[in-house]
């Protein structure tokens, strides 16, 4: 089992939105960064844990957890000319972009803000601290445990 941090702007798609989906399960789509796409396509697996991170908001923070319930598949938005994620270079035979399905697991009693993460020596090596802008990023089991403890 691997662990990941998935970033989302809460005005676009929040942890509460995921919880409100049928079966508390939603598609994690719209990824248009090659490094994040490669993680989704090549490394994210069914059963992996996800830290749900609210970004681009007043207090960016890890707010809860989810689990991957469907491994990578072609993001259908890339084929839809009406979608803001349309990619004219993609085809069903040769998709460029991928998505996964995740299921809500828990909401943290205490969201863990980025400021706190940056000040915690146990989290100093997180990709979030070192390469902040990446929307899909690996998390170690130790980082997962630390953040879960801080959040609950």
Residue-wise pLDDT tens digits, 38-96: 999 999 999 999 999 999 999 999 999 999 999 999 999 999 999 999 999 999 999 99
What is the structure's pLDDT at 131?
Answer: 86
Q: Would the pLDDT of 26 be above 80?
A: yes
Q: Does residue 49 lie within any of the structural domains?
A: yes
For residue 64, give both structure tokens. Answer: 């809860």
Domain containing 45: what range?
3-147
Residue 17 and residue 39 in contact, taking contact as beta carbons nearer than 8 Å: no
Q: Does residue 152 lie within any of the structural domains?
A: no
What is the structure's pLDDT at 133?
Answer: 85
Q: Does residue 93 lie within any of the structural domains?
A: yes
Cα(first)–Cα(last) distance of the chain, in Å?
Answer: 21
Helices (H), the chain: 15-20, 34-42, 114-119, 127-130, 141-151
Name the pLDDT band for 13 (thresholds 50, 70, 90): very high
Q: Does residue 48 lie within any of the structural domains?
A: yes
Q: Does residue 102 lie within any of the structural domains?
A: yes
Q: Residue 32: which CATH number?
A: 3.10.590.10
Q: Using DSSP, state whether 58 is helix, strand or coil.
A: coil
Q: Using DSSP, state whether 101 is helix, strand or coil.
A: strand
Our count of domains for the chain comes to 1
pTM over 0.75: yes
Of residues 132 and 5, more confidently modeled: 5
d(CA 69, CA 127): 23
Q: Name the pairing type of β-strands 49-54 and 3-8.
A: parallel
For residue 39, give both structure tokens. Answer: 């993680």
């Amino acid at each position: 089992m691997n662990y990941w941090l998935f970033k989302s702007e809460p005005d676009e798609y929040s942890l509460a939105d995921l919880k409100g989906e049928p079966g508390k399960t939603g598609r994690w789509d719209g990824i248009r960064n090659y490094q994040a796409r490669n993680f989704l396509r090549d490394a994210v697996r069914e059963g992996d844990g996800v830290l749900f991170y609210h970004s681009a908001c007043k207090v960016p923070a890890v707010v809860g957890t989810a689990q991957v319930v469907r491994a990578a598949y072609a993001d259908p938005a890339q084929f839809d000319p009406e979608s803001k994620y349309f990619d004219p270079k993609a085809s069903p035979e040769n998709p460029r972009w991928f998505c996964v399905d995740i299921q809500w697991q828990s909401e943290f009693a205490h969201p863990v803000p980025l400021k706190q993460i940056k000040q915690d020596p146990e989290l100093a090596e997180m990709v979030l601290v070192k390469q902040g802008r990446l929307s899909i990023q690996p998390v170690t089991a130790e980082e997962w445990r630390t953040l879960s403890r801080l959040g609950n």
